[in-house]
Amino acid sequence: MMKNIVDVMSIQQRTENVSNAPKAIQTDYRKKDGQGVVPRFLFECSIKLSMKPLTSATAAIIFHRFFNEVQKSDYDQYLIASSCLYLAGKIKDDPVKIRDVINVSYSTLNRGTAPLDLGDEYWSMRDAIVQAELLIARTLKFDLNIEHPHKYLLYFMKSLKDWLGPNTWSSLPIAKTAAAFLQDFHHNPKVLNHNPSHIAICCLSLALQTYGVQVPLTGESDENTAWYNVFVTGLSKEKHWEILEEIMEVYNHDAEIDAN
């Protein structure tokens, strides 16, 4: 298991390098297929649009929830992803101009092209995004309230910092790594299947295991003495490892996308 975690960190490091240098991202989405491709497009666009992490996570949740209700083959997933970004900006009070969404989405799908002129193609895409926004809202029965794991993660990190001590906490990028795991887990539709507080715990747990940090006065082998029992209830050892494995799936899919 530790080998898998180390492998994840290698992929995570590569992901961080890419996000710090967006020009290096050259995924040809029109030629890619498989799980994780469209969410990668969504997050690449969110970075280019300078969206806040909570806004892009909201867009991803809406995207996954929508395709839980419909057949993927019935809709243009890239159009839906673009509309989810536009809608999430409104929901989280982090608005983006629809023209920016159009130009970023278009140029990300069509590498090396200039922004669209205000012609027929632009207005057709604009109308499609607006109509898709209404379709998404109707499909989700206008229930766009989302309980994010982010608030739990922040609370848990503040408490864990005191538990571990300032020297251990400041010497390792545990907080940054846990936050990265959480954001990346939103590439996976399985993020919808779990309690948000449990997801936050598992992201922290994976970060701690990555750096070999043992929480004082707790045990890993007995779930009754696991450190996270102080923060949450109902998280069995089996569920804990299930979520960890699903977080790591993201990096396996990411590697497959790059390899194909």
What pLDDT does residue 223 have?
A: 64
Work out the mean pLDDT of the chain and round it to a whole number: 86
- Cα 80 to its chain centre, rounded Å, is 16
What pLDDT does residue 3 have?
A: 42
Gap between the Cα atoms of 178 and 160, Å rounded: 12
Radius of gyration of the chain (CA): 19
Decide: 58 and 91 in contact? Cβ < 8 Å. Answer: yes
φ/ψ bin of 117: left (φ > 0), alpha (ψ from -120 to 50), beta (otherwise): beta
What pLDDT does residue 111 have?
A: 84
pLDDT in tens, 135-153: 999 999 999 999 999 999 9
Give percent above pLDDT 90 in the chain.
60
User: Among 147, 117, 154, which residue's Cα sits nearest to residue 231?
Assistant: 154
pLDDT in tens, 50-98: 999 999 999 999 999 999 999 988 999 999 999 999 999 999 999 899 9
Segment 115-122 shows an average pLDDT of: 85
Query: In the chain, where does DSSP find H-type helix?
Result: 2-20, 37-48, 53-69, 77-91, 98-109, 120-139, 150-164, 166-171, 174-185, 196-210, 237-259
Residue 4 scores a pLDDT above 80: no
Decide: 247 and 185 in contact? Cβ < 8 Å. Answer: yes
Q: Which position has the higher pLDDT, 254 or 10?
A: 254
User: Among 66, 65, 104, which residue's Cα sits nearest to residue 82?
Assistant: 104
Q: What is the pTM of this model?
A: 0.85
| Phi, psi angles (nearest 5°) of residue 180 | -65, -40
User: Among 104, 102, 98, which residue's Cα sits nearest to residue 46?
Assistant: 104
Residue 2 scores a pLDDT above 50: no
Gap between the Cα atoms of 217 and 163, Å rounded: 10
- Cα 1 to its chain centre, rounded Å, is 23
Residue 7 scores a pLDDT above 60: no
For the chain, list the domains and their CATH numbers.
Answer: 32-139 (1.10.472.10), 150-259 (1.10.472.10)
Segment 220-249 shows an average pLDDT of: 85
Residue 1 scores a pLDDT above 70: no
Q: Band of the pLDDT at 219, cuts 50, 70, 90?
A: low
